[in-house]
Amino acid sequence: MFNVNNSNKENLVGQPIDLQLLLKLPAYRLHMKWDTLPENLKTSPELQSHLPCFEHYNRPDREVHIDGPPPSKSKCRACKRSNQ
Ligand SMILES: [Zn+2]
């Protein structure tokens, strides 16, 4: 008897983009991928707060420079302060 399992094939083709996996990426990597993400993921507040904070970091006009890429908004002290 052959057991042809079609559902396995389908799983290989349609790899869904997992929100939890995206949240584990460094903030700048998520930013690089952002344009390729489906719209329903872009509207997730959780994912949006994981984007790097360009508002408070690496802005030439405010001379706020740190080494390396900006942290995610959820880790940005200035963002946290304004949310309180
Ligand atoms: Zn910020």
Is 19 within 8 Å of 44 (Cβ atoms)?
Answer: yes
- Number of residues that this document lists for the chain: 84
Does residue 10 carry a pLDDT above 60?
no
Radius of gyration of the chain (CA): 18
How many angstroms is it from 79 CA to the middle of ligand 1?
A: 4
How many angstroms is it from 71 CA to the middle of ligand 1?
A: 8
CB atoms within 10 A of CB 11: 11
Q: What is the pLDDT of residue 13?
A: 43
Q: What is the pLDDT of residue 68?
A: 67
User: What are the structure tokens assigned to 4, written together?
Assistant: 């042809």
User: pLDDT tens, 32-53?
Assistant: 999 999 998 999 999 999 999 9
How many angstroms is it from 27 CA to the middle of ligand 1?
A: 12
Is 37 within 8 Å of 17 (Cβ atoms)?
Answer: yes
Percentage of the residues of the chain whose pLDDT score is greater than 70:
65
Does residue 12 carry a pLDDT above 50?
no
Q: What global pTM score does this model have?
A: 0.66
